[in-house]
Amino acid sequence: MMLTKTPLCLPVRRDSMQAVKSSARSRARRKRLLEARQNVLDGLCDLPPFFPFTELCATLQSRLELIQKYRATHHRRLPN
């Protein structure tokens, strides 16, 4: 017996394929965010104890600005 594709099955298959792709993109995004957070935490471990908060913010911002993708998507903030 030979199976044939019916037009009624195609939209359902397309929707399920899109759901699978969307889920895969979401998992990949969550993985990238987790890795980025871990990198920031690793960098914080390198700081000396009792590091002043304002210096911490400036250090983290300067590290972010070294990343080309961050610079391309974020505008530089003006000092207060």
Domain residue extents for the chain:
15-73
Between residues 72 and 30, which one has the greater pLDDT?
30
Residues 15/16/22/23 CA torsion (nearest 10 deg):
160
Average pLDDT of the chain is 78
Task: Read off the pLDDT of each residue in 14-32 and give the average, rounded to a whole number.
Answer: 90
Task: Give just the sign of the alpha carbon dihedral 74, 42, 54, 29.
Answer: positive
- As a whole number of angstroms, the distance between CA 28 and CA 33 comes to 9
Of the listed ranges 23-27, 29-33, 66-70, the one predicted with least confidence: 66-70
- pTM of structure: 0.42
